[in-house]
């Protein structure tokens, strides 16, 4: 893979994340590549830096909410 995500990749990653139990990541940023959480932390820029050390692929980055929410 060239390190560029397609819209399909992003949608797949989002759907996968949405169906995971992320309680241990509440309030943290997570980096996901190929439906695997590769790193997490309180600051997005630090998570991106760590993800770049782990993989050449561009991660899907999302912040896990601290409270339950309704996703439509």
DSSP string, 20-54: S--GGGTT-EEEESSS-EEEEES-HHHHHHHHHHH
pLDDT digits (tens, 9 = 90+) for 24-56: 999 999 999 999 999 999 999 999 999 999 999
In a domain, 21, yes or no: yes
In a domain, 72, yes or no: no
In a domain, 58, yes or no: yes
Distance between CA atoms of 3 and 24, rounded to whole angstroms? 28
In a domain, 68, yes or no: no
Q: How confident is the model at residue 4 (pLDDT cuts 50, 70, 90)?
A: low
Give the domain range for residue 31: 7-63
The model's pTM is 0.82
Give the total number of structural domains in the chain. 1
50, 15, 43: which is closest to 27 by C-alpha?
43
Query: Helix or strand or coil: residue 29?
Result: strand
In a domain, 28, yes or no: yes
In a domain, 15, yes or no: yes
Beta bridge partners of 43: none
């Amino acid at each position: 893979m060239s390190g560029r995500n397609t819209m399909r990749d992003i949608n797949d990653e989002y759907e996968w994340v949405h169906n995971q139990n992320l309680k241990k990541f509440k309030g943290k940023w997570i980096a996901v590549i190929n439906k695997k959480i590769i790193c997490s932390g309180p600051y997005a820029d630090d998570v991106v830096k760590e993800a770049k050390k782990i993989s050449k692929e561009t991660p899907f980055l999302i912040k896990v909410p601290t409270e339950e929410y309704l996703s439509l």
